[in-house]
Every structure is written in C-alpha cells, then in structure tokens.
Amino acid sequence: MTARPIAVVGASAAGLAAAEALRRGGWRGPLTLIGDEPHLPYDRPPLSKQLLHGAWEPDRLLLRTEEQLAPLGLDLRLGTRATGLDVATSTLTLDGGERLACAGVIIATGVTARTLPGADRIAGVHTLRTLDEALALRGRLGTPGRRLVIVGNGVLGCEAAAVARELGHEVTLVGIEETPMAAAVGTEVGELLAEEHRARGVRLLTGAVGGFETAPADPDGSDPQVTAVRLASGGTPASEGVASGGPPGSGGVAARGGGGSRLPADLVLLAIGSRPAVEWLADPALDTTDGLRCDAYCAAAPGIYAAGDVARWDHPVHGRPLRFEHRMNATEQGMAAARNLLAELATTAAATGAVEDTPAPERRPFAPVPYFWSDQYDLKLQAYGLTAGADRVEATVLDRAEQRVLALYGRDGHAVGVLAAGLPPRRIRALRAVIATPLPWEEARERIGAATAAG
C-alpha cells in the first residue's frame, strides 16, 4: 500500500519552511506542497518595497529555485487550491475534485487582501498581496506624475505611499485612524511617521470611502476607469478628525453611503487590511475565528497543524491566543509545526507498535519573540514583542535629525514590546533579550535604558 503523504497547504514562506523542516526531521514519505498561485514560493515583504519600486525583479523574490527544491522530492502542486479538509480522516479536497488522504496536514494559507464592494470591476483600483498584484500596480506606476489615492494608512499603505512618492507620484493617504500605523505602533510613533510623510509631500486625510467615480466604459466591454474617490465623511486633514468604519485594527477605510470630499485619482490602492484564508475550512472540528485556532504546539486537531499568518495559537509566554502577520514568524512557525507534527506521528506509531520501541521526540510549545520591520524612505522601524494592543506606550525621540526613536509598549503593568529606529544593529538586537519575557514596567524601562546606552 502506498504511504500517505504529508501535505502542506500554502506555498509561501511558512509552507516552504515546513516542507524543508519535515525533510530535515526525517520524513522520507511522500510530501505534497500545494499553492494556489502559479509561482514558486517567493518572499512577500519586498512586494510593497523593492519590487514595487522597480529595484528588484520577480526572480529575486524567489525563496528557492527549481534546482534548490529538487532535493526535497516534492509533489509540487502550483496553481492548485485546497477547497476542503475532512479532519477525522485528514483528507484534503482540491479544486479539481481530487481527494488526498494524508498522514498529516500543515495549513499555511496565509491571508487575503480585503477589498471594497465592486472594486474588482473598476480599472485602476488595486490590492497588493500577491506577486501578480504587485506587478500590475508597478506597471501602472511606471510613468511619473500619476495621482494615487491609497485607502488605508496601516503598514502596507504607508510603505506603498513612500515608494510612490519616491517614484514621483502625487500621493494621498486616507485612513480611518487619525495617525498612520497607530494600531501597529501607537500614536506617538505614528505621529513621527506622519511628519515624515508630510515632509515628503504625501497628503494625509482622515475619512471613510463613500464610493468611486469612473469614466464611461469603452464599448469593447473593458472595465470603467477610476477617476476619483469619494469620501463619505469629509476627508479632513489627518490632524483634525477621525471617521469610523473599516476592519478593526486594519488602518483601513469603510465603504459607506453618502458624499464628502472628492479625491481625483488615476490609481487607487486598497490597503485596508487582510483576512485569514480559512474560508475553505468548513469542518466543524476546526475553529476558524480570526484564523485557524491552534494549541501551544500549533495543532488545530490531531494530525492537523498551522503556521504563519493564518495560525492563531496559544502563545505560552503571553498566555493568550495570538496571530502574527510577520515574515519572521512565518518561517519560525513553519519549522515548529513540522517538528511537532513529526513528533506526534512518531508517538502514534510507537503506541501502535508500527515502529521499534524507541523514544519518540517530544512536541515543544511554540514561543517566539515576535519581530517585524517596516522600511519607509530612509527610516527603518524594527520591533520586538507585542506593540499592537498596548495600554501604555512611552516613546522617546533620541535624535529627531537622525530619526532615532525608541518606544516601549506595556500591557497590564508589564512591558511586552519595544520598537526602535536609527539605532546601531547591536543595540537593536539587545532589545530582544530584554523583551523576550514580559517584565514589570519599571524594570523593563531600566533594562532598555541600559541596553541602548551600552557600547
């Protein structure tokens, strides 16, 4: 009888890391890697930066070439979508109708970009999550002087605004949050980012999208071209007011009725957040509320694990379920999920007498120190721990001219995150050790001060 494969659903950073870790961990059976895009696994952070800018071409984003993937012996299913999973039998259903019975499954399907109703039928309105979407937007930004309206002032919107200004475009950044990136880094750091964007010529507005204006469609049946964005609530300068609406924490803008400011636009980028790609997981044994719910070992059910942006798991240090859309977490969690799945399979095999009586490896809780970065103009933000959802933030501008900033983030009396910009790499790395475990606020402040002053 042919051995059942382990299937990894999602051919990006987390999925590739899981596949490689399965082979390193000793899995010699069939290994299937399924990806809904036609491309080999590639890196996503450069999509809104180096690729959009034109500094990099797509081949530079590849995480592995075909030659580098060959030793893994993968059954590589690109351009294939998983449409269902039967948890009891670990059986996947693929979009062609094939059913694949598996020894184990690792789900790494990531997230999909949020959009607004009808936006997909308007030429010039873009989202930016995949390589093809980034290339389409880059093509439209090839000629300087376009009027670009970016809807959503979170991380993606701010990064794209910086690139577009450097390419010579007129940029308006609209968000429901008064301060750019406030949900991710807090108001104090967000205000510094706002100053930088204004200094570079970005127009910052606060408002909610009421709709789009378009030119009449051509007789050939092509989509109508966007000509303007209508704001439902005024479009006030970002220092004057906030309009409600949009996905929580996304920095996005809600589509609402009514009228307001009219923003002429040749192009529109919807950067209004994302949603976990779990719509295909309908089995009631799985909890898909805000991602795929997992335990501390990244297990959603026996033999079913998750990794990357889609996984919401019990973080052993912070004591609550968390979901990170961070690049480093994708790789680390992919490896952790693979190790724990192999440990579970070995334990099961030993218990059933399928292998010799040798000690099975133990599963280990996944307890990373979260890390993320954002590049905007000459500014590079780097953060460790939890910066979103803080109930206390203390930001210090160490040197405004040199753009040196340090911020500490707290929750329930403990410091849980730290962010820095403009510090030497050695000092930034030292912050990780301080924040690896939540510390009482005052103790953390002292240790952060010592870490940044040393050397």
The CATH number of whichever domain residue 409 belongs to comes to 3.30.390.30
Confirm whether 324 is domain-assigned. yes
* Residue position matching structure tokens 């930066």: 49
Domain identity same for 253 and 289: no
Confirm whether 244 is domain-assigned. yes
Please say which residue of 215, 245, 273 terminates a domain.
273
State which residues form the domain around 14: 6-110+277-351
Distances (CA, A) of 145 to 140, 167, 368: 11, 9, 43
Residue 377: left (phi > 0), alpha (psi -120 to 50), or beta? left
Predicted pLDDT of residue 36: 97
What's the CA gap between 87 and 282, in Å, rounded? 10
Query: Are the beta carbons of 399 and 203 closer than 8 angstroms?
Result: no
- Residue 347 maps to which CATH number? 3.50.50.60
Predicted pLDDT of residue 386: 95
Predicted pLDDT of residue 26: 95
Angle 187-199/155-166 helices, nearest 10 degrees? Answer: 20
pLDDT digits (tens, 9 = 90+) for 67-121: 999 999 999 999 999 999 999 999 999 998 999 999 999 999 999 999 999 999 9
pTM confidence score: 0.91
pLDDT at 244 over 50: no
Sign of CA dihedral 137, 138, 142, 145: positive
**Average per-residue pLDDT in the chain?**
90
What does residue 297 show for φ and ψ, rounded to 5 degrees? -95, 5
Domain identity same for 229 and 155: yes
Please say which residue of 229, 255, 273 terminates a domain.
273
Determine what percent of the chain falls in helix, strand and coil, rounding each to the nearest 5: 25, 30, 45
Domain identity same for 248 and 140: yes
Confirm whether 150 is domain-assigned. yes
Parallel, antiparallel or unpaired: strands 82-86 and 147-151: unpaired
Q: Which residues are 399's β-sheet partners?
A: 404
pLDDT digits (tens, 9 = 90+) for 378-426: 899 999 999 999 999 999 887 877 788 999 999 999 999 999 998 888 8
- Both tokens of 324, joined, read 């990170």
Confirm whether 80 is domain-assigned. yes
pLDDT confidence of 429, banded at 50, 70, 90?
A: confident
- Please list, in sequence order, all residues whose beta carbon lies within 8 angstroms of the beta carbon of residue 194, skipping any fewer than 6 positions away: 179, 180, 204, 238, 239
Confirm whether 145 is domain-assigned. yes
Domain identity same for 305 and 181: no
Domain identity same for 304 and 322: yes
Confirm whether 1 is domain-assigned. no
- Please list, in sequence order, all residues whose beta carbon lies within 8 angstroms of the beta carbon of residue 356, skipping any fewer than 6 positions away: none
pLDDT at 359 over 80: no
Domain identity same for 284 and 412: no
- CA-based angle 113:118:119, to the nearest 5? 50
Q: Which residues are 107's β-sheet partners?
A: 9, 306
Confirm whether 296 is domain-assigned. yes
Domain identity same for 126 and 196: yes
Domain identity same for 282 and 264: no
Parallel, antiparallel or unpaired: strands 203-206 and 304-306: unpaired
Confirm whether 197 is domain-assigned. yes
What's the CA gap between 351 and 345, in Å, rounded? 10
pLDDT confidence of 284, banded at 50, 70, 90?
A: very high
Domain identity same for 437 and 394: yes
Please say which residue of 224, 248, 273 terminates a domain.
273
What's the CA gap between 431 and 452, in Å, rounded? 8
Domain identity same for 180 and 166: yes
Domain identity same for 183 and 259: yes
Domain identity same for 234 and 138: yes
Average confidence (pLDDT) over 151-173: 97
Average confidence (pLDDT) over 436-454: 87
Total of domains in the chain: 3
pLDDT confidence of 216, banded at 50, 70, 90?
A: confident
